[in-house]
Amino acid sequence: MTSRQRLATRLGALALLTLGAALLCSQETWAQNPFPQLNMPNISINGKEAGEQQTFSTFLLLLGGLTMLSLAPYILAMCTAFIRITITLSFLRTAMGTQQVPPTQVLMGLALFLTMFVMAPVGEKINNEALQPYMAGKIPQAEFFAKAYSPIQDFMLYQTRDKDLLLFSDIARVKVKTRKEIPFYVLLPSYVLSEIKTSFEIGFLLYIPFLVIDMVVASVLMSMGMFMLSPMSISLPFKLLLFVMIDGWQLVIRGVVESFNTPR
């Protein structure tokens, strides 16, 4: 038996002795006090009538708050202007051929702040019509949630195509008379699909001027017999020069922000 094996054997025996002593102590303690006092949360169930049926308990509010925190990134990405802005900026970087410039962190930060800029009127409406009256005790919880959801619903409906709404309504077999009656589980995928379509259309328009520069540079290089030289490395400075001369960032950001339909 090696020294390592002997050491492991001794440690195992010591652990067994410690566990046995702990069990004996616990048995003596249990014999003296078979029902020790446990520190449990103070949870009680009574039959008292609630003053308001819509009022949630503290446990449910905590559970709902933790759930909303876990779903907050997905809500930010799916229910706001973040989808269109992110995809558009990604198309712009790919069309320019600058690889990782600007970095992904910079693009995501810019998309986040532009999303806050676009969604500011919606947030202000939620604050004035739902949050402040609820904090002042003027409206119940059910009315608070309804008024908080209404501005987001209006924003999503104004960006969503009727064709996409009909697609998911037919799949879910939901029949409604007006657009306001469309349930959230039908509205959300319809909105996401419409945003992806719109951002792809914007990306196609962004690609056209850069594609023309690539074709011109490739034609010039072929006419000069420079087949071994990559057209991308030659066209990149011209793309950057064109983008800077026309103030491309201002044009792209203005176009993306103004492409959102504002609820009337």
For 59-76, what is each residue's pLDDT tens digit? 676 777 777 777 777 777
pLDDT of 52 above 80: no
> Considering the domain boundaries, does residue 137 fall inside one?
yes
Look over the chain and give the mean of its residue pLDDT values, rounded to a whole number: 75
Identify the domain containing residue 223 by its residue range. 79-258
Tokens of 100: 């990782």
What confidence tier does 81 reach under pLDDT thresholds 50, 70, 90?
confident
Per-residue pLDDT tens for 168-227? 888 888 888 888 888 888 888 899 999 999 989 988 888 888 888 888 877 877 777 776
Model-level pTM greater than 0.85? no
**What CA–CA distances, in Å, run from 252 to 76, 198, 236, 246?**
22, 14, 19, 11
Whether residue 9 lies inside any domain: the answer is: no
In a domain, 164, yes or no: yes
> Into how many domains does the chain fold?
1
Domain assignment of residue 232, yes or no: yes
What letters, b where the CB count within 10 A reaches 16 and e where it falls short, cover 8-36? eeeeeeeeeeeeeeeeeeeeeeeeeeeee
Structure tokens at 244: 């800077």
Give the pLDDT of residue 10: 55
